Structures are given as structure tokens and as C-alpha cells.
Chain A
Amino acid sequence: MQKNKYPPGDLAIWIFILAELLVFAAFFGAYAFTRLKNVELFNYYQMTLDRNAALLNTLALITSSYFVVRAVADIREDDSKGCKRWLWAAIAMGAFFIVIKGGEYAHHFSAGVTLSSNTFYMFYLSLTFFHFMHVILGMVILAAVALKVGRGGYSADEHTGVETGASYWHMVDLVWLILFPLIYVMR
């Protein structure tokens, strides 16, 4: 089968995706090596995190990523309606993530946790909040795409915009897949 030269979506988004992934990679490495110097601190405060919430959030993101896959598949067959439905379902899963994660933050903030509390919380808040903002941005992008799909703005012939939004959303998912075990589970 003929393979493609470029990934799906506009290449500009891929440059952006790579830049973002680079930032996350640097933060992951920084987390791991800072932990090395503060193992007990990290192990202790890791226990204050809510692993059930993290599970729900992980499931929410992979599910929504899968929904986005279905959306792209639909638009490739010129099915705008199906595409739109899958996209809004994906956005709903994103909103679910925001609510759960927001609950976690509310819990931590009410306990007086800030970026300056200690090194573990500094990394926990920096990494997850940075990712949290990406979820919001991803939802905004998906919503913009979904609205345009609803107006019949994409078709089987021209749907680069859908693929672009999808690729970005998968990146948001991908980052969380590493974040989840690294911060919540590995000790």
C-alpha cells in the first residue's frame, strides 16, 4: 500500500506538537532526576495524590482520543453528522477530565498547597497544570473544528482541519499517558 509522506493534518501543527512534546520531555526528565535527590519526599507526597481520579482521567482521555479517531474516520467518508457527534463526545470527555482534575486542584489548594510548598508539589502542579491548560486548548480547537463540521465546512476531499485538531488532541492524550504513571504510580 502507498504510504504517506506527511502525518495527517497541517504540518504547522506538527511543528507545534513537537515543540510541546520537547517541553514535556524536558519536564519529565527533570522530574525523574530531581526525584533521585529527594526520593523520600517524592514518595511521601505522592501518596497525597488521588489515584482514583487519575484513573478516571486517564480513561477519559484515551476514550476521547478514540472518539476523535472515529470522527476522522467519519469525515473521510463524507459523514459530517457522524464526525460532529464523535467530536462533541470527545469534547465532553475532555470536560469530564477538567471537572475531575479541577476537583483535585480544589482539594490541594484548600489544603494550602502551592508551587512553593515543596519540590514534589512544584513538579506535580507545574506538570499537571501545564497539561491541564493543554486540555483546555485542545477542547477549544476541537470545538472550533466541530462547529465548522456542523456548518458543513469539511468533506471527504478536504478535511485537513479535522485531522489537524485530531493530531493535537492525541498529543494531549499522549502526554498524559506518561504523566499518569510517572507522577501517580511510579515510586
Chain B
Amino acid sequence: MSQAFTKAMARNIFYGGTVFFLLLFLALSFDTVSALPKRDNRANLTEAVAQGKKLWENNNCIGCHTLLGEGAYFAPELGNAFKRLGGKDGVMAFIKSRPAGGIPGRRSMPQFNFTDAQLNALAEFLKYSSEINSANWPPNVQG
């Protein structure tokens, strides 16, 4: 056998393998999407939660924080912030009380001047996020 492996066979494996695993991925994704209603807390996805998510996005919160572990690693995890800060009041009070000029020498969250309705929506969003079944992650309340 002069040639150990051929280009034609390598090509077949590339195309065949890609299609095969793409199909498998689609099958698993299909299963995931149909299994999600039991895990993703969609029952509690209210108008306020949707508004809170939009606020979360429009202020680029993910640029400093992680949410369920994804985002930037500059500021605390927020998937369980609702629990850590002691519920809705705690969340709202924390966001509201950030000094506009920052804290000398330390990292500080900006003051976003949210209205009460907006604060409420953000807190609802974090509450909804904290109730997603994330397979017991984060490991503890510190996130």
C-alpha cells in the first residue's frame, strides 16, 4: 500500500462527518427546545420581566456582570443576585443607591437614574433569572 490515506477519503469524511454531526446536533437541539418549558421558568415570563430584560440589554449590563456565568468577569454574577441581595427590595435599593461619581479607588456600578417602574422591571427580570433551573449553578450564594 503506497498511500496511507487519500485526499478523496479525507474529503468524504469531512463532508460526511459534518453532515452527520450537524444532524445529530439539530436532533439534540430539537429535544432541548421541547424540553425547555420544564426548566426555563417561562411560566413567570411576565411583561415586566420582558421589560427588565430589555433594560438589561439596553444598558449593556453584561459588559461587567455575568448572568448564569456568561458575560464579563468584572462584577458579580447576577443569576442569583436576587437571592444574594435579599429579594426585590434589596435589588432595587442596591441599583438605586450607586453614587453618580463612583467610589474613589474602587470599582463601582454607574448610576443609571432608573425610574421606579424600571427598577421594578429589572428586579423582576433578576427574579425570573434566579428561578431558571440551571442545574444547581452557581455553587453557592456568592456566585
A114 within 8 A of B: yes
A15 within 8 A of B: yes
Distance to closest chain A CB from B32 (angstroms): 9
Q: Quick check: B31 and A15 within 8 Å, CB to CB?
A: no
Within 8 A of B (CB), among A71-116: 114-116
Q: Quick check: A4 and B10 within 8 Å, CB to CB?
A: no
B106 within 8 A of A: no
Chain A residues touching B, range: 10 to 19
Distance to closest chain A CB from B8 (angstroms): 8
A161 nearest CB neighbor, chain B only: B9
* Contact A6-B4, Cβ < 8 Å, known A12-B9, A114-B31, A116-B35: yes
Which of B4, B9, B23, B35 gathers most chain A CB within 10 Å? Answer: B9
A3 within 8 A of B: no
A130 within 8 A of B: yes
Distance to closest chain A CB from B18 (angstroms): 12
Residues of A within 8 A of B31 (CB): 114-115
Q: Quick check: A4 and B20 within 8 Å, CB to CB?
A: no
Q: A115 to B13, alpha carbons, bound, how many Å?
A: 28
Q: Quick check: A116 and B38 within 8 Å, CB to CB?
A: yes
Q: Quick check: B5 and A12 within 8 Å, CB to CB?
A: yes
Q: A5 to B38, alpha carbons, bound, how many Å?
A: 54
B20 nearest CB neighbor, chain A only: A137
A25 within 8 A of B: no
Candidates A6, A129, A164; contact of B1 at CB < 8 Å: A6
A16 nearest CB neighbor, chain B only: B13
Q: A6 to B9, alpha carbons, bound, how many Å?
A: 16
A30 within 8 A of B: no
Q: Quick check: A133 and B5 within 8 Å, CB to CB?
A: no
A4 nearest CB neighbor, chain B only: B1
B17 within 8 A of A: yes
* Contact A11-B4, Cβ < 8 Å, known A114-B31, A115-B31: yes
Residues of B within 8 A of A137 (CB): 16, 20
Q: Quick check: B23 and A12 within 8 Å, CB to CB?
A: no
Q: A96 to B129, alpha carbons, bound, how many Å?
A: 47
* Contact A12-B35, Cβ < 8 Å, known A4-B1, A5-B1, A137-B20: no
B24 within 8 A of A: yes
Residues of A within 8 A of B10 (CB): 12
A147 within 8 A of B: no
A-contact 0/1 string along B3-31, CB 8 Å cutoff? 01110011001001100100110010001
* Contact A164-B9, Cβ < 8 Å, known A4-B1, A5-B1, A11-B4: yes
* Across the A-B interface, the 7 shortest Cβ-Cβ residue pairs: A11-B5, A10-B9, A12-B5, A12-B9, A11-B4, A12-B10, A116-B35
- Identify 18 new A-B residue pairs, CB closer than 8 A, beyond the known A10-B6, A115-B35, A133-B24: A4-B1, A6-B1, A6-B4, A10-B9, A11-B4, A11-B5, A12-B5, A12-B9, A15-B5, A15-B13, A16-B13, A114-B31, A114-B35, A129-B27, A133-B20, A133-B23, A137-B16, A137-B20
